Amino acid sequence: MSDGSTPMAPAPGCTEDRPVLKERGQREVFCGLTGIVWLHRKIQDAFFLVVGSRTCAHLLQSAAGVMIFAEPRFATAIIGERDLAGMADANEELDRCVRQLLERRPDIKLLFLVGSCPSEVIKLDLSRAAERLNVEYSPKVRVLNYSGSGIETTFTQGEDACLTAMVPTLPDAAPGAAPSLLVVGTLADVVEDQITRIADKAGLGPIRFFPPRNSQDLPPVGPNTRFIMAQPFLTDTAKALTDRGAVQVNAPFPLGVEGTTLWLKAAAEALDLPGSHVDVATAANRDRANRALDRYRPELEGKRIFFFPDSQLEIPLARFLNREMGMELVEVGTPYLNRTIHGPDLALLPADAMLSEGQHVEKQLDRCVAARPDITVCGLGLANPLEAQGLTTKWSIELVFTPIQGFEQAGDLAELFARPLNRKTRLVA
């Protein structure tokens, strides 16, 4: 176990030769539309209009859970029989829906047209629709498009598609600008503020975040941009930023003390600053975070954990729980394994950790039930049925909706896993 201040050497047989069980079968994962649930909270003047079916609308509503917002900044243009039968021109219908929407919501500055399975299958060209609508509404509203369809994206890949669509709209960084850091992937505002404070202290600033809180405040990008990912599911975004000349910084993800430390150091090194700056600037944070982790370690140490594939956060989470909390990894499932992005975390996993990619949910459930792990990380559809079989579970979606990154959240992250175990010890009947 590491106290996080001294990075471990990437030892046990890194990425290339590590065996991975690849499975095909029923995948029990949300589609990329789900990302709208957190993206619309992050970019506060953006609206997400799904062009899809009643199923898509129902998915969003079910995933959003409690509906506390009068009118959320997302909606669905539900395709009807008339659109399919050619009785109505789908493009005109879409334009009408957008008009109706923008009349109701004059506060919207950025509109995403979000493709779905039905819109993809009927080949409704949303990029042309976006062009057309831009002519009409620019400069008041910018219209972009991406696909969150379930035939192309799982769960968190929707954010990847969304951010990829935004990359071309980022302004060019001034030529000859000093190297600067861009953090990529949605983080809770509170986490961003913490990172900003640390960056300032360690001399890494000024630091920018993508996606921004406001669509009018886009971070510039160019050859002097060093970008580091805060979320592990942004393959295409990384490529798009690289195409704009920005330089990708690879690091373990900022989960736990060790992950956050290595992540900040990689950022520092990318700016040609010594990692010791980070050590000095974060000593107090690390100390506090380690104390927070100490509290939960007795509850987690030696416990066996099983991950169903869901958010692509599984590998960094497994690394944190294994190395900092002493948990044993029974199986670490991920919907997709990107060896470049996950490489630094993979390198820190024990050589014998069982990894699986893709899913055959029935076989995986068989394996899980047979292994009887102490805790299982899975989607909402599987959690209660596993609990009913006497297993303890943690809903993976909470790991996406809750601030878990950075030093100050390390204890909260551990607590998310400790709580279900703690609860089991309390209930006698």
- The contact set with ligand SF4 (CB under 6 A) reads 31, 33, 52-53, 55-56, 59, 116-117, 149-150
When CB distances are held under 5 to 8 angstroms depending on the partner's kind, the choice from ligand SF4, another protein, none that residue 169 binds is none
Write down the least CB distance from residue 352 to another protein, Å.
Answer: 30
Closest CA relative to residue 18, chosen from 323, 334, 308, 368: 334
Write down the least CB distance from residue 231 to another protein, Å.
Answer: 19
Write down the least CB distance from residue 330 to another protein, Å.
Answer: 21
Contact 103, 39 (CB under 8 A): no
**Is residue 117 part of an annotated ligand binding site?**
yes
User: Exposure pattern of 149-184 as b/e (b: 16+ CB <10 Å)?
Assistant: bbebbbbbbbbbbbbbbbbeebeebeeeeeebbbbb
Question: Mapping DSSP to helix (H, G, I), strand (E, B) and coil, where does residue 423 land?
Answer: helix
The token pair that represents 426 in the structure block: 């309390």
Closest CA relative to residue 320, chosen from 311, 329, 312: 329
Write down the least CB distance from residue 33 to another protein, Å.
Answer: 7
When CB distances are held under 5 to 8 angstroms depending on the partner's kind, the choice from another protein, ligand SF4, none that residue 190 binds is none
Interface with another protein: number of residues (CB under 8 A): 69
Which residue lies nearer to ligand SF4 by CB, 52 or 252? 52
Which residue sits closest to ligand SF4, CB atoms considered? 150
DSSP string covering 301-361: TT-EEEE-SSSS-HHHHHHHHHHTT--EEEEEEES---HHHHHHHHTTS-TT--EEEE--H
**Is residue 368 part of an annotated ligand binding site?**
no
Which residue lies nearer to ligand SF4 by CB, 150 or 259? 150
422 binds another protein (CB under 8 A): no
Question: Mapping DSSP to helix (H, G, I), strand (E, B) and coil, where does residue 48 land?
Answer: strand
Write down the least CB distance from residue 313 to another protein, Å.
Answer: 18
When CB distances are held under 5 to 8 angstroms depending on the partner's kind, the choice from another protein, ligand SF4, none that residue 406 binds is none
- Amino acid at the residue 18: R
Which residue lies nearer to another protein by CB, 62 or 340? 62
Q: Would you put residue 13 in left (φ > 0), alpha (ψ -120 to 50) or beta?
A: left
**Is residue 56 part of an annotated ligand binding site?**
yes
Place of tokens 């001294």: 6
Which residue lies nearer to ligand SF4 by CB, 149 or 405? 149
When CB distances are held under 5 to 8 angstroms depending on the partner's kind, the choice from another protein, ligand SF4, none that residue 379 binds is another protein
Question: Mapping DSSP to helix (H, G, I), strand (E, B) and coil, where does residue 49 land?
Answer: strand
Task: From residue 273, give the alpha-carbon distance in Å to each of 206, 249, 296, 314, 387.
Answer: 14, 14, 34, 30, 49
400 binds another protein (CB under 8 A): no
Contact 324, 350 (CB under 8 A): no
Contact 59, 32 (CB under 8 A): no
Which residue lies nearer to ligand SF4 by CB, 56 or 315? 56
Place of tokens 């769960």: 155
**Residues numbered 59-118 forming contacts with another protein, rule: CB under 8 A:** 59, 61-63, 66-73, 75-81, 83-84, 88, 90, 93-94, 96-97, 100-101, 104-107, 117-118
When CB distances are held under 5 to 8 angstroms depending on the partner's kind, the choice from ligand SF4, another protein, none that residue 90 binds is another protein
Reported as half-sphere exposure (CB side, CA atoms, 13 A), residue 135 has a value of 6
**Residues numbered 334-373 forming contacts with another protein, rule: CB under 8 A:** 362
Q: Known binding site for [4Fe-4S] cluster: residues?
A: 31, 56, 117
**Residues of the shown chain interacting with another protein in the complex, contacts defined by CB under 8 A:** 25-34, 51, 53-59, 61-63, 66-73, 75-81, 83-84, 88, 90, 93-94, 96-97, 100-101, 104-107, 117-118, 120-122, 149-152, 154, 362, 379-385, 388
Q: Known binding site: residues?
A: 31, 56, 117
